[in-house]
């Protein structure tokens, strides 16, 4: 992979996820904390209107609008669909982007701690995960490399390389110092790694490390009319990245009936009971634990 010359740090993709937004404000007033000698950094406030209205989004989830077909379809003209096209013009275009690397900053209401989501499993990303975990032992690395970057709908997929920082638990429209500190620290370590990569100075890293690979998303129990009839089981709630074995309880219906995990693998739930996903009745994502080689 060629050297990374231009990095975009994006905050406020969702208008009520405040850590990234307020870090952008801080960095815009004190940009020296983002400066590295081997590349330039641009800060991007993705969804200012949603922030002004204290909403996740105005019309559509902005972080699902960056498919190549949708970006080329100018009949898709809601606020977020238009905003996606503007961002694609600013830091893209996707497939031939001015930005070589995008860091997209997100909060989650789930108990995921400082999580780094990687869209590719090439050596650069595998080593980036190892470096972040070395600097932040509590960090969690999740690979969502089940599809090509071109097929991803996320803002960070505009560039050839992009990652998502996902930190929680933090309620929507709230700032927690520990969560903000995690996000700032992880962003700094990622920028440090990019500089080390550019200068051929990546230090000796662990040969391997534990991470997770996204497998599937589960929905909450609903009836034939689509009405919710249950909730995440109390033994699963807040236990992001803890093992869920086949036969373990996973949901409790409102009448007290327990529903058990019927999968054929040990799952590691995350994004458990994420508040932003309630409009889709999504309960959690499931991953498998993997060992990642840095070689």
* Residues annotated as part of the active site: 166
Q: Which of 119, 158, 124, 160 is nearest to 142 (CA)?
A: 119
Mean pLDDT along residues 34-63: 98
List where CATH 2.20.25.160 sits in the chain: 210-293
Q: Which residues are annotated as a binding site for Zn(2+)?
A: 14, 17, 106
Q: Where in the chain is the domain with CATH 3.40.630.10?
A: 6-206
pLDDT, position 279: 85
How does pLDDT run across 224-244, given as a tens digit for each residue?
Answer: 999 999 999 999 999 999 999
Question: Is 102 in contact with 156 (CB distance < 8 Å)?
Answer: yes
Considering the domain delimited by 210-293, tell me its CATH architecture: Single Sheet (2.20)
> CA 275, CA 259: separation in Å to the nearest integer?
21
Note the CATH architecture for domain 6-206. 3-Layer(aba) Sandwich (3.40)
pLDDT digits (tens, 9 = 90+) for 67-103: 999 999 999 999 999 999 999 999 999 999 999 999 9
**Six-digit token string for 288:** 């498998």
- Binding site feature residues: 14, 17, 106
Q: Which of 110, 109, 117 is nearest to 139 (CA)?
A: 117
């Amino acid at each position: 992979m060629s050297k990374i010359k231009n990095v975009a740090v994006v905050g406020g993709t969702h208008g009520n996820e405040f850590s990234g937004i307020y870090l952008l404000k801080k960095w815009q007033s004190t940009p020296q904390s983002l400066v590295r000698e081997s590349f330039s950094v641009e800060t991007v406030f993705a969804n200012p209107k949603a922030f002004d209205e204290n909403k996740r989004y105005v019309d559509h989830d902005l972080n699902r609008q960056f498919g190549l077909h949708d970006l080329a379809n100018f009949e898709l003209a809601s606020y977020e669909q238009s905003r996606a096209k503007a961002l694609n013009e600013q830091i893209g275009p996707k497939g031939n982007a001015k930005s070589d690397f995008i860091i997209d900053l997100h909060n989650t209401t789930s108990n995921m701690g400082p999580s780094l989501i990687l869209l590719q499993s090439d050596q650069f990303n595998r080593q980036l995960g190892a470096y972040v975990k070395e600097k932040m032992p509590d960090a969690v690395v999740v690979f969502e490399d089940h599809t090509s970057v071109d097929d991803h709908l996320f803002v960070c997929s505009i560039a050839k390389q992009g990652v998502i920082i996902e930190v929680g638990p933090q309620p929507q429209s709230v700032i927690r110092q520990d969560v903000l500190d995690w996000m700032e620290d992880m962003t700094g370590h990622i920028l440090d790694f990019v500089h080390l990569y550019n200068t051929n100075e990546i230090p000796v890293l662990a040969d391997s490390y534990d991470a997770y690979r996204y497998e599937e998303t589960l929905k909450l129990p609903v009836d034939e009319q689509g009405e919710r009839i249950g909730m995440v089981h109390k033994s699963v709630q807040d236990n992001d990245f803890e093992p869920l074995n086949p036969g373990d309880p996973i949901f409790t219906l409102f009448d007290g009936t327990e529903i058990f995990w019927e999968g054929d693998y040990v799952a590691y739930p995350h994004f458990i009971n994420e508040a932003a996903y309630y409009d889709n009745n999504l309960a959690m994502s499931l991953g498998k634990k993997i060992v990642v080689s840095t070689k």
